[in-house]
């Protein structure tokens, strides 16, 4: 199939059933109908994003190069954006999530590590204190 065909979100949304399933990934439209029974994650995963933009779901899973090759074999055409269509998520959210949460996640990881360390020290201190109390009462 050639990428010269352009479909709108309205076109894609009409293909959301098990026997006729289109998905949008990175502004390209794919016909996943023939792959629905072979999908390793099960048909429900594809049916949940059928007829809509599946870019975020596709990228969140971290598909292999082989999965991306299979996807290219299902290509129907490009997505023609119309006024009122949802904004593309892959570029803006990828950039913002790749910068902001990494810093936030790193500081959260350090904070969590510090909390566990302090908790361990407190438990050790309590153990030693109780041990001293039991030794002095003998």
List average pLDDT for each run of 10 residues in the chain, which is 138 residues long: 74 91 92 91 89 89 89 91 70 41 57 84 91 82
pLDDT (0 to 100) of residue 94: 40
Q: Which two three-digit tokens encode residue 116? A: 């566990």
In this structure, are residues 50 and 16 in contact, taking their beta carbons and an 8 Å threshold? Answer: yes
Q: What is the pLDDT of residue 4?
A: 66
Q: How far apart are CA 27 and CA 7, in angstroms?
A: 10
CA distance 10 to 79: 10
pTM above 0.75, yes or no: no
The pLDDT assigned to 110 comes to 73
CB 77 within 8 A of CB 2: yes
> What is the predicted pLDDT for the residue at 125?
92
Contact 43, 71 (CB under 8 A): no
């Amino acid at each position: 199939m050639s990428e010269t065909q352009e479909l709108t979100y309205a076109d894609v949304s009409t293909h959301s059933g098990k026997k006729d399933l289109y998905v949008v990934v990175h502004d390209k439209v794919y016909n996943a109908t023939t792959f629905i029974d072979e999908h390793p994650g099960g048909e429900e995963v594809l049916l949940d994003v059928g007829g809509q933009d599946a870019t975020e779901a596709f990228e969140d899973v971290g598909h292999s190069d082989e999965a991306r090759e299979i996807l290219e074999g299902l290509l129907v055409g490009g997505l023609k954006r119309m006024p009122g269509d949802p904004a593309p998520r892959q570029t803006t959210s990828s950039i913002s999530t790749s910068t902001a949460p990494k810093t936030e996640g790193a500081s959260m990881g350090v904070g969590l590590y510090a909390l566990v360390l302090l908790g361990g020290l407190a438990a050790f201190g309590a153990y030693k204190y109780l041990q001293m109390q039991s030794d002095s009462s003998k």
